[in-house]
Amino acid sequence: MNLNLKKESLRKVNETLQSIDRKSNKKIFKVSNPDGNHAICAGLKDEIEVTIDGHTGYYCAGMNMNANIIVNGNVGTGVAENMMSGTVHVKGNASQSAGATAHGGTLIIDGDTSSRCGISMKGIDIIVKGSVGHMSAFMAQSGNLVICGDAGDALGDSIYEANIFIKGKVKSLGADCEEKKMNKKDQNILRSLLKKASINESEIKNFKMYGSARKLYNFNIDNVSEY
Amino acid sequence: MCGIVGIYLKNKKYNSQLGKFLTGMMNSMATRGPDSAGFAIYSSEKKKKYKYSVCSNTDQVKEISKKLSKQVKDIKVKSISDHLIIETAMKPKKFIEILKNYDELSLVGYGSCIEIFKQVGNPKDVVKNFSLEKFSGSHAIGHTRMATESAITTDGSHPYSTGEDECLVHNGSLSNHNNLRRSLQKKGIEIKSMNDTEVAAGYISNGLSDKKSLKETLLDGLKDLDGFYTFISGTKNGMAIVRDEIACKPAVVAETKDYVAIASEFQAMAHLPNVNSAKIFEPEPGKVYSWGK
- CATH number of domain containing A152: 2.160.20.60
Query: Between these two residues, B276 and B169, which has the higher pLDDT value?
Result: B169
What confidence score (pLDDT) does residue A124 get? 98
Q: Which residues partner with B76 through β-bridges?
A: B87
Mean predicted confidence (pLDDT) in B122-127: 98
For residues B184 and B161, what is the distance between their CA atoms, to the nearest angstrom? 15
**Domains observed in chain B:** 3-43+122-292 (3.60.20.10), 46-112 (3.30.70.1150)
Our CA angle for A144, A145, A151, nearest 5°, is 155
For residues B252 and B268, what is the distance between their CA atoms, to the nearest angstrom? 10
Percent of chain B scoring above 70 in pLDDT: 100
CB contact under 8 A, A114 and B247: yes
> Which residue, among B255, B277, B282, would best test binding to A if mutated, counting the most A CBs under 10 Å from its CB?
B282
SS3 at position B65 = helix
For residues B29 and A56, what is the distance between their CA atoms, to the nearest angstrom? 15
Those residues of chain A that have pLDDT short of 50 are: none
Per-residue pLDDT band at B59 (split at 50, 70, 90)? confident
Q: What does pLDDT average to over chain B? A: 95
pLDDT by residue (tens digit) across B152-205? 999 999 999 999 999 999 999 999 999 999 999 999 999 988 999 999 999 999
| Position A121, amino acid | M
CB contact under 8 A, A95 and B247: no
pLDDT at residue B4 above 90?
yes
For residues B43 and B66, what is the distance between their CA atoms, to the nearest angstrom? 27
Q: How many residues does chain B have?
A: 293
Strands (E), B188-292: 227-235, 238-243, 252-255, 259-263, 279-281, 288-292
Phi-psi map region of B178: left, alpha, beta (phi>0 left; psi -120 to 50 alpha):
alpha
pLDDT by residue (tens digit) across A160-199? 999 999 999 999 999 999 999 999 999 999 999 999 999 9
What confidence score (pLDDT) does residue B60 get? 85
CB contact under 8 A, A74 and B266: yes
What confidence score (pLDDT) does residue B149 get? 76
For residues B142 and B252, what is the distance between their CA atoms, to the nearest angstrom? 15
Mean predicted confidence (pLDDT) in B20-48: 95
pLDDT at residue B105 above 70?
yes
Q: Rounded to 5 degrees, what are φ and ψ at B90?
A: -65, 135
DSSP A18-53: HS--TTS---EEEEE--TT-SSTTTT--SS-EEEEE
Judging by DSSP bridges, how do beta strands B3-9 and B139-145 pair with one another?
A: antiparallel
CB contact under 8 A, B270 and A92: no
What confidence score (pLDDT) does residue B48 get? 86
Task: State which residue of chain A sits closest to B263, comparing Cα positions.
Answer: A36
Edge-first strand order for the sheet with B3-9 is: B114-120, B36-42, B139-145, B3-9, B259-263, B252-255, B279-281
**How near does any CA of chain B get to the CA of A214, in Å?**
26
What confidence score (pLDDT) does residue A110 get? 98
CB contact under 8 A, A93 and B282: yes
Whole-Å CA distances, B1 to B34, B152, B155, B245: 10, 14, 18, 18
Q: How many residues does chain A have?
A: 227
Q: Which helix (H) or strand (E) holds B285?
A: none
CB contact under 8 A, A133 and B285: yes
Q: Answer yes or no: are the C-beta atoms of A12 and A31 closer than 8 Å.
A: no
For residues B43 and B49, what is the distance between their CA atoms, to the nearest angstrom? 13
Q: Answer yes or no: are the C-beta atoms of A45 and A18 closer than 8 Å.
A: yes
What confidence score (pLDDT) does residue A50 get? 98
Could you tell me which of B167, B169, B55 has the C-alpha nearest to residue B111? Answer: B167
What confidence score (pLDDT) does residue A227 get? 67
Q: Rounded to 5 degrees, what are φ and ψ at B139?
A: -150, 160
Phi-psi map region of A61: left, alpha, beta (phi>0 left; psi -120 to 50 alpha):
left
What confidence score (pLDDT) does residue A21 get? 87
CB-nearest to A57 from B247, B267, B284 is: B267
Q: Is B265 on the interface with A (CB under 8 A)?
A: yes
Alpha helices in chain B (DSSP H): 18-28, 61-71, 92-99, 123-129, 177-186, 196-209, 214-224
Number of domains making up chain A: 1
For residues B144 and B5, what is the distance between their CA atoms, to the nearest angstrom? 9
> Which residue, among B29, B266, B272, would best test binding to A if mutated, counting the most A CBs under 10 Å from its CB?
B266
Residue span of the structural domain in which A123 resides: 2-226
Residue B210 burial (10 A CB sphere; 0-12, 13-18, 19+): exposed
Contacts of B281 in chain A (CB under 8 A): 93
CB contact under 8 A, A93 and B266: no
pLDDT by residue (tens digit) across B216-243? 999 999 999 999 999 999 999 999 999 9
Per-residue pLDDT band at B148 (split at 50, 70, 90)? confident
DSSP assignment, residue A151? B
Q: What is the C-alpha radius of gyration for chain B, rounded to an integer number of angstroms?
A: 18
Q: Rounded to 5 degrees, what are φ and ψ at B202?
A: -65, -40
Q: Answer yes or no: are the C-beta atoms of A155 and A198 closer than 8 Å.
A: no
Q: Is B266 on the interface with A (CB under 8 A)?
A: yes
Q: What is the pTM of this model?
A: 0.93
pLDDT by residue (tens digit) across B76-90? 999 999 999 999 999
Whole-Å CA distances, A26 to A17, A21, A67: 11, 8, 13
> Which residue, among A56, A93, A114, would best test binding to B if mutated, counting the most B CBs under 10 Å from its CB?
A114
Q: Rounded to 5 degrees, what are φ and ψ at A178?
A: -145, 160
Could you tell me which of B125, B182, B126, B206 has the C-alpha nearest to residue B159? Answer: B126
Q: Which range among A34-48, B36-50, B112-126 shows the weakest confidence by mean pLDDT?
A: B36-50
Task: State which residue of chain A sits closest to B286, comparing Cα positions.
Answer: A134
**Total Cβ atoms within 10 A of residue A189:** 17
Could you tell me which of A88, A81, A124 has the C-alpha nearest to residue A197? Answer: A88
Could you tell me which of B167, B179, B252, B250 has the C-alpha nearest to residue B214? Answer: B167
For residues A121 and A140, what is the distance between their CA atoms, to the nearest angstrom? 5
**Total Cβ atoms within 10 A of residue A107:** 31
Residues of B forming the active site: 2
Q: What is the dihedral of CA B83, B84, B89, B90, to 10 degrees?
A: -80
Task: State which residue of chain B sits closest to A154, comparing Cα positions.
Answer: B246
